[in-house]
Structure 1
């Protein structure tokens, strides 16, 4: 048993280490706050100058004494540019205001943290030295006493109100006001009600059409109908799983709003995505039941799929400002950028959506089949047109590679990513990772080509079909290994050599797990924390195993189609594997965005980088190359350890550090200031 002097010396030594740690953290907080405040002041001055220049140019281009024109069709080119600049300035000020609110939250969060930990110190050690230290050090610290951030917020509000919104403060604050940051806000009661209602209807209707199908169609050829409706189900499944993704990102603090560069003041929550998926799911089930009971309701079976998919298309392109108008047109704009990838700079959301299309390739192929089937194979005079195939054509036209279009459709998603990688190489002049990534997607072209040649030559009884089969196996293996390694190492950032206790993963992981455990602090006292949140590596190991299995699931399809004589074996396996591939992409999304979020934290990036006069691609590439040089502004080529303890994450600061690869900042292109 230690004597009283030994215990006192131990406590004194512990307190000395404790307050040294507090001083070190206080210094880092003060330094970071000062840097961000200086950056905000510089940014505010720049925005003021840009606003003044735009307003001066607007006044010079407007003849005195003339009534202001509201139409844009008769504006000159100069006037259009001025209007465009004002629109960009509104967006830039709204993002700048968001950064000020985040910095103000940083002040409050750190002061609260010091107050609570020092209060806990005094309670445990039965002393008041923690409170005294807070008064002497924290309450006079620059990060707490400085009121310049509040002044900047007030000046920004006044400037936007008077100069950009014509004195309308209510309109200005609607543009600037930031929703509470952190976890998702509670959804409206009616939204939650509709989610439950649609999901309940979907389950009941799905059971109904499954039972009906089993009873009524034992002897019918159901595969035309399955292929026509399969794509719709995959889209509904994708939207529902994306809702789970959104919920998981919010809960774990992964700032997907920043990563996708969407408006933090107006975007879809997971509840909205569940509602859309549930509503479309109910329509999908009703359409199938209408097909099955077409003889009783006197509606032609072949009309039902056209009504369903016609409604889906109209829902997406509906120009009326209702039913998530901003989100729908944000998606349409993104799809347009994917299809026109070579002609503009590629952003994260662009190649993320193209990756999703690679997992939804069956949807595109089923859409091609639907169009072909209705043109060439459907017998409109037959009341069971979707359950009967012409004996003359069978599967030899629409469900085969015989006329080449099907292979082209199958290659389209890979082509989008391939050309995006080439465009990114053109913009950055970096062979790695962009050309190497393009090589990954090019393997899909070989796989599809040899699959088409093998299927066609086997149907025609050619002797060289076996050669194409072996080439298909070789390139499918190469493609699967290539994509698997890229998934785990590049997209997810796993198998990092500095992973520490997270074996085979990376140093920092953000998806937590609640456990009960005991924790001994400083060998002085013991406390039991219930539901302590700890990183849970098992999620990551299961995801790795799942990715390996599903990346090689094609082996099952090839085995069954070549070793069995069942004509529909290929359709059966494809119908099972397509939803599994959508599920694989759902898991992939979690870890891909986690990796991107950690990169943003390492770069201290918490808001979109808005520039009214952005650099063009060549100038930005030249600037980045200069920064990579040994004698440049800073050498960004080598590996660095970025401290993330001051990250302005929307949920909480990340406490550990990791070696990050270089991550270039994104310049926002011309966007509507209220867009999703």
Structure 2
């Protein structure tokens, strides 16, 4: 693999602009190479006479050159390197201090600019200096950030160790005192225990100070006796943690729940530090995650330093090869002496972080601690590909079998076909909506990986637990096999002539199937990607409890997905209606005609949009972002349009039709604008790419324009209901299902460009890490 591709594959995508622009510098070297080839071709075409005169002139001038001696040239054997003074100096690199910039700026002076093609090389070194200064400045800023974060983590560790001493009361001998037994105590006893240890610390410090003052007059024998006594008392290797730090911190480990949110709204929050094992366990877990994320930052920062140093080495060697000069040695010496090549701050922080984590969070087990800190490479399993292929083949075979069965048995002309479409088809269309959405998500994951969009970081997946497109396709194909097999089994149009009913087991297949899927989804056992299932459940719970939870990207992203699954949510309602109040043995129900069902038919469809409205209001009050208020108004109009369209579908009428069309038109325009301009970041008039945006991850610009057109067309599908358009050869239930599938496809297209825009925003702000909340808050005002 060429180094340019290797650099692109290993770099931190969010820091892409901070890396050395290797491809641009390589392009400048290609310009130099092309000029030299043209110059060599022009020189080879010089007339022979002119060349002879030129060479003779050189020979005549050489007769007046100083004589170097006969023995000096032969004194050194062949292959001995020449000294630096004998090398031809090509460049001079200087570190220039500039006002307002604390770090020096490196400038390279090219000494051969008067030669033919020197202006190309001069451009190369100027751009090389710009890239190097950019890299050094970024690296220095990031090292300063991790240094500050390391200081904060040190304070957090002091508070954690002090809290451990107060809560666990370890049996420790201090100044010969008797060991204390581990006993459970109340908060008052913990404070008194802490005060007692503090007095011992203070007395120990006074004794140490007295020892220091008398050290000058003590003899060597007295010092040895003192050391032996300290070793006897087992106090030499132990220094208790300063417990007074607990007076200056407040707890920050209360998880956000609906109850805690309501308490914060109704009454003042109590953040007093409580000395109990539950608080200690939560603090340890949160600080453990903070150390893991901090170590990941250090690893990526070290990789950044190494890759850029290697890139400068590669580009300078390429320059020497093209120009036949020896400039790389001088420039790389400067690179080694610079902050990028000489600073070992990151390596030392990594060593200290490893030692701290192993000691305090792995009980001294280095193998266990390093296995947690180091990233795990996710291996592709062959059985996933095998079963995905197997289930996909079975799904295709089942589709063919269903089509053949319908055609051979003339089920479409059967008198029970209309009853089947009204009652059985909605039961199985739910699985079709789920499988299609999973297929679109699998396609999104594939293209996100292909265009290097860091979707695990954006969604906040736990490292190594995110699902690849193969895993998603495996789940989708498995569900499709179960659903299609159930449909094939359910193609029974003949009822018992005596009881005038169908078989109970056959009619219960959809209910059994949906129960199995729900059981697997909520199963607490470590099967079927438990981490991803629980992540989905947690995000769904946050959506249900909106706006009581802080809104994160996975939460509103899932709510947006649910807005495209209105028909699937209504299918859940039909399950309850059909199996709870309908006569499923005879494939009939009357609950659809009740007013309660019609009311809930509107409510359940509006729930996802109301959730998004509440999430926008929460973000409006928290982030003070006025755009969230406009987004909330957009979802409010969407709810109004949905209610009016549903009422028109149920009751008809010219007034409802006009109102539904008016509100649907308004919400279509608002949603289309928000999709393309705000969520995708496109239609920028003055961008580098006309009517798109400055940065695009997909090389083919036509893809973006096609996505815009498709989004606009699919947004107009509501007109099918208003105009009463139905295909004559399809049942109205099938037409509604097709419209719902097109909306899912539109949402899948939206997902890719929405996350691409989010990724580019993170890149623009160099956000490559999760912000882990720390367990303790340090009080600035000690009087409070």
TM-score (norm 2): 0.68
* One of 47, 50, 66 as aligned partner of 2:182: 66
Could you say which residue in structure 2 is the equivalent of 1:105?
Answer: 303
Residues 449 and 96 of structure 1: CA distance in aligned 2, closer, same or farther (over 3 Å): same
**Which residue of 2 is the match for residue 115 of structure 1?**
313
TM superposition shift of 1:98: 1.1
Give the superposed CA RMSD.
2.8
1:66-96 deviations in whole A, cap 9, x for unaligned?
3899xxxxxx873211110100011111111
Match of 1:177 in 2: 374
Q: Confirm or deny: 8 A CA contact 2:113 2:122 kept in the other structure.
A: no
> What corresponds to 1:288 in structure 2?
487
Change (3 A) 1:573 1:379: closer
Please report how far the alpha carbon of residue 306 of structure 1 lies from its aligned counterpart in structure 2 after TM superposition: 0.9
Is residue 372 from structure 1 mapped to residue 577 from structure 2 by the alignment? yes
Q: Deviations over 1:419-472 (max 9, x none)?
A: 000011111222x211100011111221122123323333xxxxxx10110111
Is 1:551 aligned to residue 715 of structure 2?
yes
- Aligned: 1:52 with 2:166: no
1:523 aligns to what?
A: none
Change (3 A) 1:232 1:614: farther
Matches within 5 A, 1:153-232: 153-179=350-376, 187-216=380-409, 217-218=411-412, 219=414, 220-221=417-418, 222-223=420-421, 224-232=423-431
* Alpha-carbon distance between aligned partners in 1 of 2:646 and 2:286, rounded to the nearest angstrom: 49
- 1:322: Cα distance to partner? 2.0
Distance 1:394 1:473 in 2: 28
In structure 1, runs of 5+ residues without a counterpart are: 70-75, 459-464, 512-534, 620-676
Q: Residues 363-415 of structure 1, C-alpha deviation per residue, up to 9 Å, x if partnerless?
A: 101111121122233342x3xx3xxx46xx49534xx9863110001101100
| Pairing 1:536–2:734 present | no
The answer to whether the 8 Å contact 1:401/1:456 transfers is no
- What is the SS of the residue equivalent to 2:276? helix
CA positional deviation for 1:62: 2.0
**Alignment of 1:148 onto 2:345:** yes
Q: Does residue 606 of the first structure (1) align with residue 768 of the second (2)? A: yes
CA drift of 1:118 comes to 2.5
Larger deviation: 565-574 or 333-342? 565-574
1:248 aligns with 2:447: yes
The match for 1:647 is none
How many angstroms does 1:578 deviate by? 1.2
Aligned to 1:418: 613
1:641 equivalent in structure 2:
none
Matching residue of 1:637: none
Q: For 1:37, which of 143, 150, 163 is the aligned residue?
A: 143
- Listed as ranges, the matches of 1:396-475 within 5 Å are 396-397=593-594, 403-430=598-625, 432-458=626-652, 465-475=653-663
1:91-117 Cα shifts (integer Å, max 9, x gaps): 111111111111111112212222232
Q: Using a 3 Å threshold, how does the CA distance of structure 1 residues 264 and 294 change in structure 2: closer, same or farther?
A: farther
Specify whether residues 214 and 115 from structure 1 end up closer, same or farther in structure 2 by C-alpha distance, changes over 3 A only.
farther
Which residue in 2 is equivalent to 1:586?
748
The structural deviation recorded for 1:614 is 8.1
* Residue aligned with 1:510, SS: coil
2:474 maps to 1:275: yes
In the aligned structure 1, how far is the partner of 2:313 from the partner of 2:607? 57
More moved, 408-417 vs 111-120 = 111-120
Select which of 676, 694, 698 maps to 1:488. 676
Secondary structure of the 2:753 match is helix
The separation in 2 between residues aligned to 1:215 and 1:538, in whole angstroms, is 45
The higher radius of gyration belongs to 2
3-state SS of the aligned residue for 1:377?
coil
Other-structure match for 1:80:
278
Match of 1:344 among 527, 544, 549: 549
The C-alpha deviation readout for 1:611-644, integer Å capped at 9, x for no partner, is 214889xx9xxxxxxxxxxxxxxxxxxxxxxxxx
* Normalised TM-score (structure 1): 0.78
Task: Summarize deviations over 1:531-570 as a string: whole Å, max 9, x none.
Answer: xxxx221111111111011011222343234xx6969754
Contact 2:680/2:754 (<8 A) preserved: yes
Alignment check: 8 A CA contact 1:258 1:606 kept: yes
CA distance in 2: counterparts of 1:594 and 1:379, whole angstroms: 46
2:315 paired with 1:315: no
Alignment coverage as a number of residue pairs = 563
> 1:112 aligns to what SS in structure 2?
helix
Change (3 A) 1:293 1:453: closer
Q: CA deviation at 1:299?
A: 6.4
Q: Which residue of 2 aligns with 1:660?
A: none
Counterparts of 1:179 and 1:22 in 2: how far apart (Å)? 36
- Name the counterpart of 2:505: 300
